[in-house]
A and B are shown apart, each in its own frame.
Chain A
């Protein structure tokens, strides 16, 4: 036994490269911040980030369509509700969300069956405009908001036409379509979104973000204090051939309560000190909005439809 112990010690002579290779083979993480099934949560956070942007887009559409009288005072129930989720794995999942008078549908294309996770979204106070950057090149509006109630669109129409119907001038619609960003004046109206994972069985606080067919996400900064994890995630997505979009997302994840907060997105990196300040600024509250999402497919994609 003692001699074997000597040999065990002598294994220390093994070269670093061999140790690294074997460590990688065993999945030994040399860095603390990643956990084994991070791919799933990468998707989760991307979906969360997408959703935040999606809602911002919807909010913008509502705003542009003179719906800005909608009461945004803290504490009021916004009457957002989940309309339904149907479809099959190979055909994609289709869901509809109703924003009071503004309806929005999400279509999820996935080729594999998987678990659906439910999220509850809560709306907070508007984020200061200088905290928010960019929009989402990953979202596409095929139909715009139309007053007069919800109905199925008969056919998909060009984006610019939809946006003009939503109350934009041609120039604005063109700017929207091409830049895919939101003007500071509008994004300042965007509320912070608290995304609570209702079914957290497959999620871990240190497992973060996404799988995307033509993109990737990297945790570029991470700090953990107690149950709270602060993350900055750089998401790179291919918009079209040769064109890539890069966005930094600042996220706060409560590992105990499994609550993810998407705080800001933009092209610039933010410091965590700023993030902490932002957290102080935000007041969260519940609106009863619910959202479900299927993250299982390798060919996961998201399309957004908005129609009234």
Chain B
């Protein structure tokens, strides 16, 4: 079933929309949620919540790319869940490592609560990623959007892990400089 047909089902308020979405994008969303949460049950709940969010969002929304539309919802839900969990206990796995790495790129004074700051950061990240070379972009997005392990990225590129880590280090450095230029630092 095409994305457009699935979206039509949402607009028709047909419950089949959920089943078709789960069938087509369940694994994809689970992959994203699990990368963030590192917990199967949490990931499963995030995926189920994603379907509910999608159900509530359509109509009025009519996403052209259902995969990234759902993926973004899942990822945000998973981050919410992780934040809640890390308030009590620091999360494990790749997410914590990635967060440690990303912490280097932000000033200590930043106030993360304000939505306007987040929006500005989003826009800055978009432009930063857009300006990267093809491989740099893949590596950056793989690591910091999909939260893929360095080992996996290295294996897919046929690189050593130290080479991948070195590239990520340079990219973080460039991101920091970019954020400084954008007065977000």
A residues at B contact (CB < 8 Å): 1-16, 18-23, 25-33, 224
Contacts and interface: CB of A to CB of B under 8 A. Distances in A.
13 contacts: A1-B100, A5-B86, A6-B121, A11-B141, A14-B126, A15-B130, A21-B137, A22-B137, A22-B145, A23-B71, A23-B146, A32-B22, A32-B25
Given A6-B121, A8-B79, A30-B67, A22 B138 contact: yes
Contacts of A28: 28, 31-32, 146
B106 A6 contact: yes
A27 B124 CA distance: 27
Contacts of A15: 126, 129-130
B103 interface: yes
Interface stretch (B8-16, B37-45, B52-60, B110-118): B110-118
B27 A29 contact: yes
B145 A19 contact: yes
A12 B76 contact: yes
Contact of B106 (A3, A12, A22): A3
B31 A11 contact: no
Nearest to A6: B112
B148 A26 contact: yes
Contacts of B101: 4
B123 interface: yes
B112 A22 contact: no
Interface in B64-85: 65, 67-68, 71-72, 75-76, 79, 82-83
Contact of B121 (A7, A21, A224): A7
Given A28-B31, A28-B146, A11 B125 contact: yes
B94 to A, nearest CB: 11
A14 B86 contact: no
Nearest to A35: B27
Interface in B122-153: 122-126, 129-130, 134, 137-138, 141-142, 144-146, 148, 152-153
B165 interface: no
A276 B84 CA distance: 46
Interface of B: 22-28, 31-32, 65, 67-68, 71-72, 75-76, 79, 82-83, 86, 90, 95, 98-103, 105-108, 110, 112, 117-118, 121-126, 129-130, 134, 137-138, 141-142, 144-146, 148, 152-153, 156
A307 to B, nearest CB: 47
B144 A4 contact: no
Main secondary structure of the interface of A (DSSP, over half): helix
Contact of B72 (A7, A12, A21): A12
B25 A31 contact: yes
A284 B126 CA distance: 58
Contacts of A3: 103, 106-108, 110, 112
A159 B73 CA distance: 61
Which 9 A-B residue pairs are closest in the complex by CB-CB distance? Answer: A13-B122, A6-B112, A10-B121, A22-B141, A4-B103, A13-B126, A3-B106, A4-B99, A4-B102
Contacts of B32: 28
Residue of B23, B106, B122, B141 with highest tally of chain A CB at under 10 A? B141
A27 B27 CA distance: 12
A115 B162 CA distance: 35
A9 B141 contact: no
Contact of A14 (B27, B125, B148): B125
Contact of A9 (B76, B95, B98): B76
Contacts of A31: 24-25, 27-28
